[in-house]
Amino acid sequence: MAGLIGATVLLLVCSWLSSGTLAPYAATLRPTLLAVLGPCEYLYNCDHPHFAATFKFLEGAPRSSWEFSVVIRRILYPLLAFPFMKVLGFETGGFVANLVITVAAFVVFVVFVRRQIGDRAAISTMWLLATYPGIAYWIGLPYSYAWIVPGSLLAAILLSKLSTASRQSDVLGIGFLLGIIFCGYDLLPFFLPAGWLLLARRKQYRLIPSLTAGVLAPVLLVLLVLDKAFGVPAMNSNTETYFKVFESFLSPDDFGAWWKLLLHVPSVFIETFLFSNFTFIPLLFVAFALASFVLRGRIRMQSPELEIAVSVLLVFLINNLAPPYPGWQLRGSWIARLYQPLFVSLVLFIAREVQAWSSWGQGRGARAGWLALALVIAASAANATIVFGPALGFAHASLADDRFYGHSEPKWLKANLDQYGRRPLGFCRRR
């Protein structure tokens, strides 16, 4: 319990030092794209109006103040955050809501790992997540991106429950809960196929329709209500890119250009794997996977981490094997952040390996167990340097953020912080 409290405190500190002017998703932008708001001049992303519009939508503001938003479909997040935003304002209330949501999912997931795998597994999980830059990147801003990590953690727990479910009603219920999670962010492409794969591995094909129906019920209901009752269409400039990817396979025309794109896929795969989760957790996964292969002759991935990893790989292949298509591109390592949900698969595998190493023989087990925890601590410490990087001026933090989501250039993080100061929420600029 003391360890969990300590890890939670560390998570809160990391989150606070990723707010204000230190929020990476804002501070990494080109200055002309920044939104600098309020008397304290905190930094927000240029898409801030789209997310603020979801609050205005729920508040019952005039249609003209929210109808342009392309993220209202992710309605679960603003619904959860709305009470906090109503009391504390959109920006501060959103940050507080992010803390509550993230800490709740964090604690639930650590307890789940402890019960399902073991104490050492839970210890490794809590410290890897407490310093995970994938939380810090989003949590300082009141946007639905803050749902990616909590939603992925909860979805993984439900998939674990699915791995032992055998009744149609249970599978339908699990699917319905997953569908609710998918109303917070576009996680369906990663976790619904994982559920199909999991049931197929168990040869429970008869349960696949129940899972699918359960998932689609809340998702389609939200889209239908938004469209029919509020005139918010499911298709917009944000969602149409998904359809362009699939349409490109139906009518490829420039095969020369397509071949040139395909030649880059292997290198894009390596870069995406490393940078979609800030390098150190992926490298730790590789280290444990290699050790597992050397010592056991195989890489022992279990459900649900195996199915999640395969599902993420399928999404990657669809995006990057697609023929050329116009507009916003979902291919390439510049948008490695798209595959962030892979982190939950990597963390679960690492947790199982840490527990397995700790259970070998007396003397050998003790040494192997401490070595495993030492590797986890090293990776957690390395991640912490990225999280604390903006506040402490570590140059590699801007590089890590840029490789996670290359929507700007690494130099702008330092430039913006030099101009606006390194100030988390609660500290205003001195005049």
Phi, psi of 410 (to 5 degrees): -55, -30
Q: Is the pLDDT of residue 241 over 60?
A: yes
pLDDT interval class at 360 (50, 70, 90)? low
Residue in the structure block whose two tokens are 């319990």: 1
Using 50, 70 and 90 to split pLDDT, how confident is the model at 362?
low
| The pLDDT value given to residue 363 | 53
pTM score above 0.85 = yes
Q: How many CA atoms within 13 Å lie on the side-chain side of 336?
A: 26
Residues 127-132 have a mean pLDDT of: 97
Instruction: State the average pLDDT over residues 40-58.
Output: 95
Answer yes or no: is pLDDT of 372 > 90: no
Q: 353-380: b or e for each residue (b if 16 or more CB lie within 10 Å)?
A: bbbbbbeeeeeeeeebbeebbebbeebb
- Per-residue tokens: 270: 């390596």
State the pLDDT confidence band at 370, using cuts at 50, 70 and 90.
confident
- Locate 207 and state its tokens: 């349960």
- Region 234-248 average pLDDT: 87
Residue 407 confidence (pLDDT): 87
Q: Residue 410, preceding bond cis, omega within 30 degrees?
A: no
pLDDT band, very low/low/confident/very high, at 367 (cuts 50, 70, 90): confident
Q: Identify the band that residue 252 occupies on the pLDDT scale cut at 50, 70 and 90.
A: confident
C-alpha to C-alpha distance for 415 and 152, rounded to whole angstroms? 33
Nearest to 414 by CA among 34, 25, 27, 37: 27
Q: What is the mean pLDDT of residues 122-133?
A: 97
Q: What percent of the chain has pLDDT over 70?
A: 97
Q: Which of 351, 340, 377, 413 is nearest to 186 (CA)?
A: 340
Rounded mean pLDDT of 154-175? Answer: 96
| Integer Cα distance of 133 and 20 in angstroms | 16
Does the pLDDT of residue 361 top 60, yes or no?
Answer: no
pLDDT number for residue 28:
95
Can you give the pLDDT at residue 322?
95
Q: Work out whether the CA dihedral 132, 138, 139, 140 comes out positive or negative.
A: positive
pLDDT at 365: 53
Burial (CB count <10 Å: 0-12, 13-18, 19+), residue 426: exposed
pLDDT at 217: 97
User: Would you state the pLDDT for residue 239?
Assistant: 83
Tokens coding 30: 């080109």
pLDDT at 364 over 70: no
pLDDT score recorded for residue 128: 97
Measured CA angle at 333 (ends 329, 336), to 5 deg: 90
Tokens 């104490």 -> residue? 119
In degrees and rounded to multiples of 5, residue 37 shows phi and psi of -125, 150
pLDDT confidence band for 42 (50 / 70 / 90): very high
